[in-house]
Every structure is written in structure tokens, then in C-alpha cells.
Structure 1
């Protein structure tokens, strides 16, 4: 039967109209004007008319904004590539620390987010001042690899990541929903950047191979000038694509979270059982304690991203129970690691590394307790899922603050 007739016959059946649209959207859109002419008084078709018409208007506006934003993104990508290449030159000369490369990328991502979602003037000034102060402070420190300096190099990018988050959230930096959106943005950014980076590596390999056929070895030149520039510029492109709500990343991230959560849970259970059977002791083995903390951070990251990608309705799924099990497992790991750190502090004295690890483990332990209690109330039908996400988003500034404390004070204290 003709689609036009099917639409008219099912005016009183919204469910069937939706099914027809999903079955063949192109034919539905093509036939709808004829059905609308035959039944102009139908309220159901009036709603469909506005729905289809609104999509066309939205796409037109989006195309205009896309064009304008694309040019700005291209300018930022070029500037990021040039700045990163200049910084890389001084890193090679060993006149500045390698961590300075972060300043060739993160400020430009922040600039794009500020352009995309303009905040108040005070927020912009604060961002510019903090990036500037961070860069000046970092390069005033002595260029060495003592424990306190390594800690500063590790924690400063976390603080800068917090500044990018401030740029992303703009005037709504206190809202849990915008912080949650920033976490989702990070996961989508990682997927897109990795996908494009793999393509870039294949292109680089092919290019160098082709030049080798004519007797030219361009590996060193290509890496210094093309790869370094491209890696920085690609970060800006990835941020732009994520901000444009690219369907690829948004569709794949929930599946990644649901697939990796049970895999991580099963792997860690097997690993911890093996550790107990083998008799490894984080209280005495320093390297094993470091690995233990690395596992903790990995589990925390997987758990947080699983929570951010979970549904916002109040229906409980198997993923919620897996997430809860991961949180409990992470809490056990953190409790053991925390005990081992306290033991080492009391036995061997205070060092920058032990103090930094103690601080971050205490912060993680408190955050996990908060998330676990929120999850318990959700699983007991006492609350909805929003308190769980609040336990994640409201705690983010605490991590950024601790990173700032370590980066800015430890080199001076120790």
C-alpha cells in the first residue's frame, strides 16, 4: 500500500505512525506533505509536521554554526601545532621539562570550549591567569628529576585538566549535569582521538615507506615536524568533533562502558585471588604497592565512566550491580593500599612520594565511600540514580585541588 494512504489510515494510531516512520523515514517524509494536505485539521499530523519541520530548521542553523566554528577550530589547531613544535624543540635541547608539551594543547582546547560556550568575563580572566601562572611556575622550578619534581610533573596536568573542565562548563561550573557532560566528553574525546591517531600512524608509516623506496630516510624529519604538529592539532579537532555531538562517539561509549565493566571486574577478581595465593605483600614490596595503586586508579576510572554512561531513569540493570561490585572491590584495594602506605610512613619516615600517595588514597577512599553509600540507597529503592552521579561530579574539584597542592607546594617544601 502507498505510504500516503498508510499515514492517513493510521492518523488515530500514533504508535503505528511512529513504526512507519522508523521503518522507512525517507518514504515517510516524502509522502507526509500529501497526507497533510488531505487532513490539515489533524492534531496528530500537526505534531508530525512540526517535528519534521523543526529538524530541517535545526539542521540549517547547525550547518551555519558548523561552518563558523570549523574556521575557529582550524585556527586553534594550527596554533596548537606550531606551539607544540616550538616547545618540543626546547624539550629536545633539555632546557625545559617535557611536561611543558601540555601547554601546547590544553590551553587551546580550553579556548575552543570558551568560544563554544562563552562564560562570564571573570571566568575567562581566571582561566587565562591560572594557565599563565602554571606555565611560569613550572619553568621557574629547577630542571631535575627528584621525587618532588616528578610529583609536580605528574600532578600539574591533572590541575590543567581541571581548568579545561572549567572552560567546558562555563558559567554552569557548579552544576552536576555540566560536570557529568565533561566526563562524558573526556571518554568520547579519547575514543575519537585514538581512532584518528591510528589512522595517522598508518599514514605516517605508509609515507615513510614510500620515501624509503626512492632512497630518502625522512623518519627523523617527519616525526619532528609532522607527527608532533599533527598530534597537537588532532587534539583540537577531536574536541571540536565531540562538541558537535558526533554520533559515532556518543553511540559507542555506552557499549564500551557496559563491555569493559564486567571484564575489569572478572579480571581483577582473578588477579586478587592469584595475589593472595602467591603471597605478594604490598606492605613490604614497594613496586607491588605502586602497581596496586595503579590498579586502583584504573578501577576508579572505569567505575566513574560506567556511572556517567548509565541510564538516567530509575530502572536498575545488571550494569548497576556490576558497578556496585567494582566500587566495593576498589574500596577493598584502596583500604589495603592505604594501610600499606601508613605502615611504610610509620616504619620508614616521610617522603614526598609517600605523602602524595597517602593524600590521593585518602581522597579516593572518601569518594568511594560516598559513591558506595549512594549506590546502596539506589539499589534499595530509597533514591534515584542522580545522587550517585552527584557523588562523582561534586568530588571532581577535590582531585584538581589536591593536584594543585602537590604540583605547586611539594617542590618548595621538599
Structure 2
């Protein structure tokens, strides 16, 4: 059976190679050989992730289509086969998609563990109302430890990587729960905001199978994160409809659904949805068009216009920016969204395509965000000089400096790319390399800031 599968794969690759060689655009056989080597590398990576050979071939060709016009045409002409793979049974000769069934079972198990983990503290006398800080600090563990376990199983990680993952979660859990916490404390709020982000990078380590130094895996995790947010939002919308229907049905029977919805349906459903969303992204990673890159095409011009309008308003009114915590959070979220649009534009763009109008719009967006970040930094620095340094201001200052460095160099690289002086791959390497800076910063905020500011 294994020899037959290998033969089929070689036949498919031969068909693809013949198609490529027939095209006059290629300069002899060297280009075809280079493309074939790249295709085989992709297939090896995908089969190593658990896909069948035929699935890996079709997905690899599709992904090659983002690198090469010929591969894109081949994928388009053969797309019917891909859709059949997605919606039809594998056939009598295939292993009945056993891996897919196991994957679904493991996903359900991890989602159930995440949902039930929320109720475990109650067995030890912890109440959601009286011990809200405990739940806020540990909500990320309830959701992301099972998700990490799912990726650890899916990537077949070794004991060394599993030990690193366990150590990171243990250190974070011990430190966060050992630190003094007060609802009025700035460091408590800061920790609650940054801890899920720190743990998300641990998920990324598991997603990469421990190979965090790989630029390819980092970019794949960036793509995964965007798709994950979209699927999670869709599940949340569906959950909202389900909640409304459940409330209506229970009210009609004379029962009060408030306790069930607030203590079971919403929190347990949200935690389970984290793993389900990740599974959906993984299961549909071969779909012809992913959603996140498409949305960047829609929202990049919108955000560029909005940020330009904001700058015009600042100049027109000659008003500064209020440096309050809520305002800073809004501005930081805005800059993070801009960064997300930048990352997904880079991840979805055809590297071989010449710079166009959309690239210039992206450059305007990055430069505008850079100017706004500089304005925010000036306002924060002025407030620190006048009133002193607090945990909130220190966190805002550090985050904006981290964003400023990325946006500044990204703007320079984008300008060079638009002018034809910088290769597109250099921008991608910059973004994937900078992921380490983000991870280091959020972990520093979680572990260092509370004692540094006396837990105030």
C-alpha cells in the first residue's frame, strides 16, 4: 500500500513537472528543477504534519501558487481535485482518513478539558464573584494549556519540547498566582492583559513543534493567529445566537436561565471554542482562499484613511493626546491592528509580483501609524516627566517603543521595496524575526513589572 501511495505521488509530481516544462516562460530545465525541489520540500513538511501524500501534493501546489505564476495556473486548472479532496470521502484505497478521525477525537477531548477546567476551582471553594482575580489570571491557562496539548499531539513533539512547554506554563502559573493581587492595582490589570499574550507565544512554540527558530514556522503561526481570530469571532457570533435561543426556550418553560448561561454556557463554551477554532484553521488550511488575507485587502485602505483623518484632526485642532490608561489601550490596540494588517499583507502577497497601488497604500498606512506612535510616545514621555513613572505608563512606553522600532524599519523596507531597491523576502524576514522581541516584552511585563513596581 505504501509503495502504491508513493507511486501515485510521483505520478502527480510528474504531471506537474510536465506542465511546468511545457511553458515557454521557463529558462531551460534549471527553473523547473528548482521549483520541483521547492515543491518536494513543501510536500515533505505537510506529510510530516500528518497529511496524506495526495493532500500534501495539492496543498503544496496551491501554496506554490503564491510564489510562482505557473504554479498558480496549474493549481487553478486542477482546483476541482482539491475541492473533491475537501468534501468527498477518500475512497476504498485510502486509510479511511483515520488520522482525521483521531484528530477530531483529540480536538474534542482537549476542548472538553478546557471547558471543564473552568469548573475545577469551584470544587476547591473558589467562587467566580468572590475570587474574580484568580479567574482573570488563570483564564488563559484554562484555554491555552489544552490547546497547546492539542498541537503537541498533532506535531508529535518530543520529550524535550514537551518539557519546555510544561516549564513555561508552570513558571507563569506559579509566578502569577504567587504575586500579591489587588483589583485596584495597576500591575494586576497589566498582568491580566499581557499574560494571555505571553501564553499565546507558548502555543506558538508548540505549533512550530519546537522549531521556533524557523522563519517559515513563525510566519505560519502568524497566519494561523489571524485565521484563528476570525474563526473564534464567528463561533462567538454563533454562540451569541445559541445563548439567545437557549434563554428564550428556558424562559418559555418557566425556568431562569441566568445561572446556567453565566456560569456554564458562556465561560465553558468560550474556553472550548479556543481549541475548536484552532482545529478549524488546521482542518481548512488547504482551502483555496483563506479569509484573513482577503480582509486585509478590505481594511488596509480603510484604516489608512482613518489614520490620516486622525492626523489631520490633530493638526487642525492643535490638541494633544490624553495619556489615560483607557486611551493608551485604544491607541495600542489600533497600532496592533495596523501591525496585523501589515503582517497579513506580507504573508499573503506574491513575492514575485512587482510593487503596485496596494503596496503604496500599505506604505501610507505604516508611515501614518509610525507618526501616530511617535505622537503617543511624546505624550507619554511628557506625562512621565511631569508626574513620574507608574506601571501603566512604563508598560505603555515600552510597548510603543517596541512598536515604533518595528514600524520604523518596516516603513524603510517598504519604501525600498516600492522603489525596487529591497527584495520582498527581506521584509518577511524582518517581521518573523521581530516576533522574538514581542515574546520577550510580554513575558517581561508579566514576570518583572509587578515586583519592580511593588505590586502597586
Alignment TM-score, normalising by the size of structure 1:
0.81
1:92: which partner in 2?
Answer: 129
1:364: which partner in 2?
Answer: 403
- Does the Cα contact within 8 Å between 1:242 and 1:249 map onto a contact in 2? no
Deviation, structure 1 residue 293: 3.6
Instruction: State yes or no: 1:374 paired with 2:419.
Output: no
- Does the Cα contact within 8 Å between 2:110 and 2:275 map onto a contact in 1? yes
Deviations, residues 297-348 of structure 1 (Å, cap 9, x unaligned): 3322332233223223343232211211111111111111122222222222
2:365: which partner in 1?
Answer: 326
Deviation, structure 1 residue 207: 1.7
Deviations, residues 353-391 of structure 1 (Å, cap 9, x unaligned): 222211111111111122122222222223332111111
Deviation, structure 1 residue 180: 0.8
CA, structure 1 residues 409+225, in 2 after alignment: closer, same or farther (shift >3 Å)? Answer: same
RMSD over equivalenced CA pairs, Å: 3.1
Q: Superposed, which structure 2 residues align to 1:71-90 within 5 Å?
A: 71-87=105-121, 90=127
* Matched positions, count: 371
Q: What is the CA–CA distance in structure 2 between the aligned matches of 1:291 and 1:171, rounded to whole Å?
A: 33
- Does the Cα contact within 8 Å between 2:292 and 2:344 map onto a contact in 1? no
Determine which structure has more spread, i.e. the larger CA radius of gyration.
1
1:118: which partner in 2?
Answer: 156
Match for residue 67 of structure 1 among 101, 116, 136? 101
Instruction: State yes or no: 1:260 paired with 2:294.
Output: no
1:226: which partner in 2?
Answer: 265
Deviations, residues 84-119 of structure 1 (Å, cap 9, x unaligned): 233576433316241311111111111111111123
Q: Superposed, which structure 2 residues align to 1:346-365 within 5 Å?
A: 346-365=385-404
CA, structure 1 residues 62+156, in 2 after alignment: closer, same or farther (shift >3 Å)? Answer: farther
- Does the Cα contact within 8 Å between 2:151 and 2:206 map onto a contact in 1? yes
Q: Tell me whether 160-169 or 209-218 shows the greater mean CA deviation.
A: 209-218
Instruction: State yes or no: 1:305 paired with 2:348.
Output: no
Q: Tell me whether 339-348 or 176-185 shows the greater mean CA deviation.
A: 339-348
1:144: which partner in 2?
Answer: 182
Deviation, structure 1 residue 76: 0.7
Q: What is the CA–CA distance in structure 1 between the aligned matches of 2:215 and 2:93, rounded to whole Å?
A: 29
Q: State the secondary structure of the residue aligned to 1:170.
A: coil
1:161: which partner in 2?
Answer: 200
Instruction: State yes or no: 1:176 paired with 2:242.
Output: no
Match for residue 318 of structure 2 among 279, 294, 297? 279
- Does the Cα contact within 8 Å between 1:162 and 1:397 map onto a contact in 2? no
Q: What is the CA–CA distance in structure 2 between the aligned matches of 1:344 and 1:357, rounded to whole Å?
A: 12
CA, structure 1 residues 288+224, in 2 after alignment: closer, same or farther (shift >3 Å)? Answer: closer
Deviation, structure 1 residue 394: 0.5
Deviation, structure 1 residue 66: 0.6
Structure whose residues are more often helix by fraction: 1
CA, structure 1 residues 348+83, in 2 after alignment: closer, same or farther (shift >3 Å)? Answer: same
